[in-house]
Structure 1
């Protein structure tokens, strides 16, 4: 398995790496970002993201700056500039920043006219909310679409349960200023109701839920979101639909759960302009008794967003660990990727060779899959 290491975090720092995001600029340069989290970080007080650039197609990388107050961020390239959408911290606001110099410097979101998109209404001693912006983006038919999640954490609850996530979609016309919150349309926040599942055996109680969606154009001209979902069955995703005005998110409990290649952890889906296929990299579950393992990353494709075919396993553990330990200690996860001519370039949050477990990643790595369409 060949990769270029963009960032390594020593385990003694007790900090982990997350939220990889990757774009290719019009001049051919690559820009990547990631954040930090863990016991010994300031995630809850002041998020931090790092920005890297490569001017040689990903062979080497340089850390050019950091973004203070940026957690769970994603990059998106629009016609006028490069943007980064994130939360400011764990229980902070949802913001957007602009870079007009390829990622070296970034605007500062001070108010709703300069990048603050949604204010956080958390209060001490009451329900806390956090915006997670790691879901996908889509530039399509004159609009930018951005998937995001709103997590509600009430006093006394577990700090992370999938049932506490609600998902939303934001969109803005491409001819409007993205830093002005008034130019955006925000959908309703939709939570998963496990009581509506047609098969009660799929329910995990309050651990049933969805997050980290992917806005996509459907074959019939609508906008859908393919989402990570937690149910009592592996290799499943959720298919949500967005109204034409961008205001109403909806889900059909009878038909909305689809068979998928993975689906239990974050994945990105994009449509290939050459073949018309929808493409994803995800963690296919091969061992159903362990439905959370991430030590296998697979390429999968679909013609209609509902029926998926596993094409090729592109990353697997080569450390020599026994299978049980590999599942525990190795993770190839949360991949952010782009089409690049005949290739695909990919940035991975990797827990590998020294991470305390598969989830608490110690590396951000860059990969190039050459001539991937020959695998189809």
Structure 2
């Protein structure tokens, strides 16, 4: 075979291979950035498979945005990837909008600028970052709104540090006379009136040592920190935690040092296994974050299930008053294609009542599609209107034999799972749902084709079967479904059995503050114990499912209602607390007729009052301590001590008698119940007043648990 023929055959084979690679990867359309949600202001065409194979791929990275005093927006992004100059001299592009983000103009391309943050300060515009990946720290200044920039040639013109450095865009803050910016998981700061182009104006803090034993041995590393500051919390750095939905609160002790308490300052934060954006809002006095929580429907994905840091197809706004307890306010972007589309690395600023957000976005816009969601071909702009009042827009829809929930976003509807599955309700499974309605209180009604109507709360917990529905009309879909009342947190158990995992609670609403009550109803899977491995403070517990719920683990629960009254409410079913329970507030325990609660671990009143409100009594089978507190038992609803030898009665027994007929001699009330007589004695027994001429006989209180009305002596 001749060389010419071999060459021809080789050429044909390679051509066929290239076509085979390219055809399924390319829609053969001209890329159109306008097809992406939001406003596209930076575009780097997605690579072909041949470009990928040759290492020529380039992507959009490091989105950043700031607001100028004249109302103009300035945004930036860099270009990364094997085909870029990221390792020698980074490229950053600058954009400007004078109509609040609707239209953008590119104003500059900066050579030698990478992983950068744009910000306005003292009448000038700055861009802070690195000369290239793992390069020198540099800063540039513009006095004409981003068209021309200084060059960081030396330590007086913007070359701040030489060496190996890295970080990501964040939002610099002013606090106690200094400007602070995150440098990965460290801080750089300078006096507010200093010349920011001078290296000697800046102080670089030391970092915090990391320990892989943290988070039960699941911690690997943190990176890509975000700076934030408030009058109460001071200056903090919030990094992502690799592959875990947590952040850490690294506190600035001084410009040169950070501190971290691993026992107190890890915080569960949905989506924080990826880089997120963060700001503090002085109006609401809350911190806000844009992140990428992993939806339960995507947690077992074949490609990324073990690497949640790569799942970036849903974008959410979260807030917190104290950096430890975060709530999801709403999802504002979603794509069902988690393998090729993503919204990530958010950076945003407050503009009045709105948030102006830029995203590093991977999206199929025609032409070659992004190889992965990570591989962004766009920077897009998005606006979150009235962010302080942000709330999810949910809809319910009948889907065959069940009812499903979705959330409306600025792009696709986002699936939130089943609202009402084919489970038994009032003794019968859900049968051919036909129509839906919601009343003014937020409760949802499902009418079956057979005529039965079932009532649920807004989280999907069954309440009762009703004969009449609400005045609102029934339809096959419900839009703008009202949400559960703030503070009611419903267990779903869709991810695991762990209380600690926010995704196990309706809309990531894990109960962990004195204003929140944990609710266990039909919306949750309770076939196995709900486990707690830490200490949680909640206002109360509510059990309203016939399926027995067990709460267990090596942690503990504290009932702390602040200035109000805690509550443990057992509506139906038999349930068990298999971990220590401690009261920090007066707590009312109500058990409906036919329901039950067993306290198998220790119950410590902690000097507080426990009111047994009947009509059933809990079984206290574990150690019982009062600590000077009070147990108030309604006559006929006795204190049931399963193991009297483990009861320390160092407090007050208060007996309550329901109003009714007047007491007469011989009336007997069961106020204690135990398998053998008590050897301990209450410090005080407080009994209700009796009419003149009558008195209480407590002789059998510790032998049989009864008290009797008798004629007063004399």
TM-score band by shorter chain is 0.7 to 0.9
Q: Which residue of 1 aligns with 2:212?
A: 194
Q: Which residue of 2 aligns with 1:76?
A: 119
Q: Which residue of 2 aligns with 1:11?
A: 46
Can you list the C-alpha shifts for 1:56-83, whole angstroms capped at 9, x where unaligned?
A: 2111111111001001000111123111
Q: Which residue of 2 aligns with 1:156?
A: none
Q: Is the 8 A contact 1:17 1:37 kept in 2?
A: yes
Following superposition of structure 1 onto structure 2, how do residues 136-215 of structure 1 map, counting pairs within 5 Å? 136-149=171-184, 167-195=185-213, 197=214, 199-200=216-217, 202-203=218-219, 208-215=220-227
Can you list the C-alpha shifts for 1:296-350, whole angstroms capped at 9, x where unaligned?
A: 0000010111110001000001xxx5xxxx2221211011111111211111100
Match of 1:99 among 142, 152, 155: 142
Higher RCO (CA-CA < 8 Å; seq separation 6+): 1
- Name the CA distance, whole Å, in 1 between partners of 2:60 and 2:259: 33
Cα drift, residue 198 of structure 1: 5.5
3-state DSSP of counterpart to 2:373: coil
3-state DSSP of counterpart to 1:43: coil
Larger radius of gyration: 2
Following superposition of structure 1 onto structure 2, how do residues 192-271 of structure 1 map, counting pairs within 5 Å? 192-195=210-213, 197=214, 199-200=216-217, 202-203=218-219, 208-218=220-230, 220-230=232-242, 234-243=244-253, 245-271=254-280
Cα drift, residue 89 of structure 1: 0.8
Q: Which residue of 1 aligns with 2:66?
A: 23
Q: 1:254 to 1:272 in 2, by over 3 A?
A: same
Can you list the C-alpha shifts for 1:144-185, whole angstroms capped at 9, x where unaligned?
A: 101112xxxxxxxxxxxxxxxxx2111111111111111111
Q: Give unmatched runs, 5+ long, in structure 2.
A: 1-35, 48-55, 392-714
- Name the CA distance, whole Å, in 2 between partners of 1:221 and 1:371: 25
Q: Is the 8 A contact 1:218 1:304 kept in 2?
A: no
Q: 1:344 to 1:135 in 2, by over 3 A?
A: closer
- Name the CA distance, whole Å, in 1 between partners of 2:260 and 2:97: 40
Q: Which residue of 1 aligns with 2:287?
A: 278
Q: Which residue of 2 aligns with 1:363?
A: 378
Q: Which residue of 2 aligns with 1:340?
A: 351
Structure-1-length-normalised TM-score: 0.85
- Name the CA distance, whole Å, in 2 between partners of 1:114 and 1:27: 26
3-state DSSP of counterpart to 2:338: helix
Q: Is the 8 A contact 2:169 2:347 kept in 1?
A: no
Q: 1:180 to 1:219 in 2, by over 3 A?
A: closer
Q: Which residue of 1 aligns with 2:25?
A: none
Can you list the C-alpha shifts for 1:116-143, whole angstroms capped at 9, x where unaligned?
A: 11101xxxxxxxx332243442122321
- Name the CA distance, whole Å, in 1 between partners of 2:205 and 2:165: 17
Q: Is the 8 A contact 2:134 2:165 kept in 1?
A: yes
- Name the CA distance, whole Å, in 2 between partners of 1:221 and 1:282: 21
Can you list the C-alpha shifts for 1:210-244, whole angstroms capped at 9, x where unaligned?
A: 1122222245352222211115xx4211111111x
RMSD, aligned CA: 1.7
- Name the CA distance, whole Å, in 2 between partners of 1:148 and 1:303: 24
3-state DSSP of counterpart to 2:226: strand
Cα drift, residue 7 of structure 1: 1.6
- Name the CA distance, whole Å, in 1 between partners of 2:199 and 2:160: 5
3-state DSSP of counterpart to 1:329: coil
Structure-2-length-normalised TM-score: 0.46
Q: Which residue of 2 aligns with 1:307?
A: 325
Q: Is the 8 A contact 1:24 1:31 kept in 2?
A: yes
Can you list the C-alpha shifts for 1:175-213, whole angstroms capped at 9, x where unaligned?
A: 111111111111113342214x2612x13xxxx111122
